[in-house]
Structure 1
Amino acid sequence: MQASKLIKCLKFKKIIPRNFEDFTVSLLTQDTREVVENSVFVAVKGAQFDGHLFVQQAIKAGAKLIVAQEKTTVVGVPVVYVNDTKRAMAILSSRFYGGASQALHIIGVTGTNGKTTVTHLIEAIFRAQQRKTGLIGTMYRKIGDEVLPTKNTTPDIITLQRTLSKMVERGVSDVAMEVSSIALIQGRVWGIDFDVAVFTNLTRDHLDYHKTMENYKHAKSLLFSQLGNRYAFNGDPKVAVLNIDDPVGKQFEQLTAAQVLTYGIKESAMISAQKIKVHSRGTDFELHVFDQVYQLHTQMIGMFNVYNVLAAFAAAYASGLPAEDIIMALDGFKGVRGRMQLISSPTGVSAIVDYSHTPDGLYQALKTLDEVTKQHVFCVVGCGGDRDHGKRPKMGEIAAEHSDFPIFTSDNPRSEDPQKIISAMLSGVPTGIKVPTFVDRRQAINYAIQQAQPGDLVLIAGKGHEDYQIIGKQKRHFDDVEEATKALWLKEQAGK
């Protein structure tokens, strides 16, 4: 695409110099490390880095045009000045990558808990229909079977548009995508044409960024208020899939112009679960879809997973798939790495690795384990550094009150003193409950597994699928699944 044609989509701009030698754009980027010859570099002012400070570096690497919002001294390369480079980047990336989202059926999932499981469930449902799928989320990006790394739950808008363009090129038809609250506030999904938007739930998280729950709720609401504000009758309508058991789901219903499909257990939802039976082999329930009733089994355990299954079912149903086909796909789904992942051993002790890093997520995980075991539940848990301080006492209180043996340790302490984080967790523990603490997460996991007896469950909470630990500025390899497996093996060897 010619540079003149690309920037034409920016209606309000100032170009210096006005007349410049046109060229074929090879790449659009905000990252100087990506710049190649004939790139367009967008100088974005973020929380940690200001792209305007790296303009000369971008030019030296081959950038032939700069998009900026602040005065910058540039010689020999044209500059397009706009009021907001983040907004300009969203518009330019959509133009450069051909509005790829419009050629795809995209389901966006937002909420505090459940996004990863729900998107994986949706992916499995569509794959079972022999459709080529894409997935974008916390763990990775996937194009068919190809797995690509990701830095954020929802990538920056250029990476996102680039990924969607590759999906179109490779024949993907359906995409399941996690949409974080921070991404919504930062405009990382501006220009993405969602077909279905799913709300899972809203509980405390990311208050280090949003400051208040009201701000956090507002951020989540943007996915629904921005969902296709027109009624088109020559294609599938936009649909908002809402958890009506959560009061916020009812509020979002008033904020969207899209057609609404509700799900839940407690309220009178369009799609609901009744007669729920949770057991060690999974969960069974009656699935009510308007006036139809189906028997559904999932290999995942817990009430929160019933909600995840309902959300995924509703998203697929809203997309036009038959209920029977969806149910068949759900029955074969075994779960997601690091989401209530069971690690058993001949010792009779089992470990569960879960990403429950919020107060509600930890409570739901412990409540589920209490329902499926007759023995004791150990809980190894920590809180991340440089994040919401207010949730630390709450996490400590929940672990102490809802497990038999709580053990506090490090998560990703980052720049904070891990002992101070643990002390903050201890401040929420009710009087009389003693909690062993280990700054070293490996020691905490080993201690819990060595103390556990046959029939006991050890929940290792907070990091889930993550295969690293951030201590100071270092990112070190650390995998809860690997550590639990090793500890269980050592326990087995010691018993021989």
Structure 2
Amino acid sequence: MNLYTILGKITYTSKLNVEKPIEFNGISYHSQKVKPGDIFVCIKGYKSDGHIYAQGAVNKGAVALVVEDLQTHINIPQIVVPDSRRALAHISSLFYNNPSDTLKMVGVTGTNGKTTTTFMIDTILSSAFKNTGLIGTVIIKNGDSFIPSELTTPESLDLQMYLKEMVDNNVNHVTMEVSSSGLDLSRVDFVDYHIAVVNNISRDHIDLHGSFENYVAAKKKLVKNLSKNNFAIINGDCTESLEFGNETKARIITFGMKNQFCNFVATNVDLSGNETSYTLEITQPIQTEHGIIEAGYHEITLQVLGLHNVYNSMVAIAVGLLLGADFDTIKNAIYAFIGVERRFQLIYNSSFKIIDDHFANPGNIEVTMETIKHMSYNKFSLIYGIRGNRGVTVNTENAHIMAKWAKELNVDHITLTTSEDYVTSKDSVDPSELKCVVDILRESGISTTVYKTLKEAVVSTLCEVTEKDVILLGGCQGMDPAAKVALQYIYEQTVISKNLSLKEQQELQNSIFASLEHRVAGMN
């Protein structure tokens, strides 16, 4: 691509040494990944400034720089832009020939439920349209190929590359998680979304955005860029989400349980058994490019548990219908969906149950504990991994909501862990983070036992488990390996208690670890 082509498209304030056409072969924002013939984009990050590495990029063969601050000591072409992150997004989209323009893009944002909702949507779209793409926290899927994700929302250059690869693979429909940081850092600028979803909005990532208001403002960027021909699917039971409707030109579709004026309404919700069921009412006809979605009632059954999955499934069904999938395909696909790792995942279901959930923030904890409330059990035990390196505010908010639900569920003791046997420095727990959780729970009349290692916390709880109990493994990074730790202990104790042959041991292991067969998090 020619540098002059870029100059004719992007917003820039000045340029240096750009007197003749210059061809470039690629783009880089990481100096260690620069190849000869690349443009190097200097990004100002939270911890480092890409301008510092400009000379290093030149030494590796960069033919031009995109900068916010002119590097007068470097004698190669430079384009000065007001925002290098946005410039990276624009240049990347141009370089890969604007791939999202030829895709049906579905972007899902919200405080909770993004991962499960995107997987549900992809399950439906895969059944209806076969070759689909998925980008999110867990994996990046391109048709039949999968790679692990590094970020919930990839950096713009990587995102545009993935989308181009999907276009080349004849993918037509792509579902992706869109995080607040991805929106705030311009990673999804110049991505053309056909449908944007706002699952819910509650307090989260305050440490990153500085305030709840800034967090909401970042989220709103997703719907602001929609056109009148697009759809915004919004949670009608969430006041903060409904405000997003005032920020978009798109057609608004609402879903909910409490607001009977929504387009999609769930009633007769049954969470008491091993499946979740409800009646879905489409309250009025909806015109789409594929025809009319008729008003009416539909009985929906899910294999995944939880009130939150009723909400998630309504979104997935709405997306499928808006994109032209027929209802029978949708119902069969949504029933076949068996969940996403660490999202209220039932990892052990025998004489007692173990549920694994990432338990990230007050909203997530709220829906998880509300689902527990509707379950039948003898005793409920919670093992909670303190959120390390997230600050006192995040842990304080989580502790308050745990204390509230502990009283609701008659829980008088919570097992805490700092998971020092698994976390790295970026997720290590500061004494102040641990103290605020312990103090808040104690003030609420809830005793705690704190274990430095995850294994101790898990084993101590399993040693006291009885028939029909429910154990919840709750927490983020430090709790990722908890499922593997728990199942390994159950396997070892079963082998010890029974005289099993090697073949029987292998069969037992396969059976116990079946729920982790496709697991990524915490399996190293």
Structure-2-length-normalised TM-score: 0.86
Distance across 2 between alignment mates of 1:11 and 1:368: 49
| One-letter amino acid of the structure 1 residue matched with residue 414 of structure 2 | P
Distance across 2 between alignment mates of 1:426 and 1:82: 48
Matching residue of 2:213: 214
Tell me: CA distance 1:66–1:431, structure 2 relative to 1, closer, same or farther (3 Å). closer
Deviations 1:19-65 (A, max 9, x none): 14622x22111111221110011111111121111011111111111
Matching residue of 1:483: 485
| One-letter amino acid of the structure 1 residue matched with residue 15 of structure 2 | I
Contact 1:198 1:242 in 2 (8 A): yes
Matching residue of 2:287: none
Alignment partner for residue 329 of structure 1, among 313, 333, 339? 333
SS of 2:247's partner is coil
Contact 2:29 2:41 in 1 (8 A): yes
Distance across 1 between alignment mates of 2:11 and 2:377: 66
The aligned runs of 1:30-49 (5 Å cut-off) are 30-49=29-48
Q: Does 1:385 align with 2:388?
A: yes
Matching residue of 1:273: 266
Tell me: CA distance 1:50–1:313, structure 2 relative to 1, closer, same or farther (3 Å). same
Distance across 1 between alignment mates of 2:65 and 2:426: 34
The alignment of Structure 1 onto Structure 2 pairs a total of residues equal to 476
Contact 1:137 1:177 in 2 (8 A): yes
SS of 2:330's partner is helix
Matching residue of 1:241: 233
SS of 2:440's partner is coil
Matching residue of 1:284: 277
User: What is the CA distance between 1:363 and its match in structure 2?
Assistant: 2.5
Distance across 2 between alignment mates of 1:163 and 1:20: 31
Contact 1:131 1:173 in 2 (8 A): no
Distance across 2 between alignment mates of 1:2 and 1:57: 23
| One-letter amino acid of the structure 1 residue matched with residue 127 of structure 2 | A
Matching residue of 1:3: 3
Q: Does 1:308 align with 2:320?
A: no
The aligned runs of 1:52-451 (5 Å cut-off) are 52-228=51-227, 231=228, 237-268=229-260, 269-290=262-283, 291-344=295-348, 346=350, 348-400=351-403, 401-402=405-406, 404=411, 405-410=413-418, 414=426, 417-429=429-441, 430-451=443-464
Matching residue of 2:25: 26
| One-letter amino acid of the structure 2 residue matched with residue 428 of structure 1 | I
Contact 2:35 2:62 in 1 (8 A): yes
Distance across 2 between alignment mates of 1:21 and 1:338: 51
% same residue: 28
Contact 1:208 1:389 in 2 (8 A): no
Tell me: CA distance 1:456–1:493, structure 2 relative to 1, closer, same or farther (3 Å). farther
User: What is the CA distance between 1:345 and its match in structure 2?
Assistant: 5.7
Tell me: CA distance 1:76–1:222, structure 2 relative to 1, closer, same or farther (3 Å). closer
Deviations 1:105-146 (A, max 9, x none): 000000000000000001100111143111111112111122
Distance across 2 between alignment mates of 1:101 and 1:319: 16
Distance across 2 between alignment mates of 1:351 and 1:289: 35
SS of 2:215's partner is helix
Structure 1: tracts of 5 or more residues without a match: 232-236, 471-477
Structure 2: tracts of 5 or more residues without a match: 284-294, 499-524
Distance across 2 between alignment mates of 1:150 and 1:7: 32
| One-letter amino acid of the structure 1 residue matched with residue 417 of structure 2 | T
Tell me: CA distance 1:489–1:351, structure 2 relative to 1, closer, same or farther (3 Å). same
Contact 2:18 2:78 in 1 (8 A): no
User: What is the CA distance between 1:417 and its match in structure 2?
Assistant: 4.5
| One-letter amino acid of the structure 1 residue matched with residue 434 of structure 2 | I
Matching residue of 2:468: 455
User: What is the CA distance between 1:432 and its match in structure 2?
Assistant: 3.1
SS of 2:300's partner is strand
Q: Is the helix fraction higher in 1 or 2?
A: 2
User: What is the CA distance between 1:76 and its match in structure 2?
Assistant: 4.4
User: What is the CA distance between 1:387 and its match in structure 2?
Assistant: 1.5
Distance across 1 between alignment mates of 2:249 and 2:391: 33
Deviations 1:287-311 (A, max 9, x none): 1112310111000111111011111
Distance across 2 between alignment mates of 1:378 and 1:333: 27
Distance across 2 between alignment mates of 1:14 and 1:433: 62
Distance across 2 between alignment mates of 1:155 and 1:314: 26
Matching residue of 1:474: none
User: What is the CA distance between 1:327 and its match in structure 2?
Assistant: 1.5
Tell me: CA distance 1:332–1:421, structure 2 relative to 1, closer, same or farther (3 Å). same
Q: CA RMSD in A?
A: 2.0
Deviations 1:56-94 (A, max 9, x none): 111111111111110214544211222221222122111
Range with bigger deviation, 350-359 or 112-121: 350-359
Contact 2:256 2:311 in 1 (8 A): yes
Contact 1:449 1:491 in 2 (8 A): no
User: What is the CA distance between 1:370 and its match in structure 2?
Assistant: 2.8
SS of 1:414's partner is helix
Distance across 2 between alignment mates of 1:375 and 1:238: 48
| One-letter amino acid of the structure 2 residue matched with residue 285 of structure 1 | Y
Structure-1-length-normalised TM-score: 0.91
Distance across 1 between alignment mates of 2:105 and 2:93: 15
| One-letter amino acid of the structure 2 residue matched with residue 361 of structure 1 | N
Contact 2:17 2:75 in 1 (8 A): no
Contact 1:272 1:289 in 2 (8 A): yes
Tell me: CA distance 1:495–1:357, structure 2 relative to 1, closer, same or farther (3 Å). farther
Tell me: CA distance 1:441–1:419, structure 2 relative to 1, closer, same or farther (3 Å). farther
User: What is the CA distance between 1:250 and its match in structure 2?
Assistant: 1.9
Matching residue of 2:512: none
Contact 2:389 2:430 in 1 (8 A): no
